[in-house]
Amino acid sequence: MNLKNAVALVTGGSAGIGYSIAKTLADSGAKVAITGRDKSRLEAAAKELGVLGIQADVSKEADVERTYSEVLGKFGDLDILVNNAGVGVFKPLVEMELARFKAVFDTNVTGAMLMGREAAKIFVKRNRGNIINIASTAALRGAANGTAYYGSKFALRGMTECWRAELRKYNIRVMLAATAGFPQKATEGKLRGDEIAHAVKAMLEMDDRGFTVEVAVFATNPAD
């Protein structure tokens, strides 16, 4: 697709990978909206990027519905949803608190579903659209202490496949980006947000005749 003047919505876009994706899309000529929970950080990011900032929690249905209302009110359309908002908790199974487990799934799974559902309503009517779910290499394998975060990313990957099966007949591209970018301590061997954003941009810019079902981006450094 041609990103110039395309309308994109990036959740969790006020920092990290989401910020980099929003910047890359805006630099490519897209009209971009970002969401975030922290008002001050969101406002600062939106100003820096020159994009629409919407304070919202993707796990709250009312916030999700308001987000789409604001995007459509500002831009009148939507071409791209990037489901990027995510949180992580890493604990041994025997120490996992129910509240923290649920909080991870509320954002990483339920939030992605709510955002995807509302985007799909728009895209089905238009008979075109793009959804990119930002997972993690945690969606490709299990690991100790990964019950909440890894489990949520496996669930996101599964939902992606379900949505693809439902929505392909409406000319909607549903894609997964499994990236080794969050949450990790920054080192010289780790990927940066800009590198992940580059992969997302490439997925979107493929001609609409086809699409990248799933891309996994690892750092060349083999250490976890």
Say which of 19, 68, 149, 150 is annotated catalytic. Answer: 149
C-alpha dihedral sign at 185, 188, 189, 190: positive
Count Cα neighbours of 154 within 13 Å in the Cβ-side half-sphere.
10
Are 134 and 108 in contact by the 8 Å Cβ rule? The answer is: no
Cα 105–Cα 212–Cα 74 angle in degrees, nearest 5: 65
Angle at 222 between CA 217 and CA 224, to 5 degrees: 85
How many whole angstroms separate alpha carbon 141 and alpha carbon 150?
Answer: 8
Q: How far apart are the first and last CA of the chain?
A: 34
The pair of three-digit structure tokens given for residue 106, joined into one six-digit string: 């509320």
Q: At 129, is the secondary structure helix, strand, or coil?
A: strand
**Amino acid symbol at 32:** V
Strands in 80-83's sheet, in edge-to-edge order, are 52-55, 31-36, 7-10, 80-83, 129-134, 172-179, 214-217
Answer yes or no: 149 catalytic: yes
Which among 146, 148, 150, 139 is positioned nearest to 216, based on CA atoms? 139
Active-site annotation, residues: 149
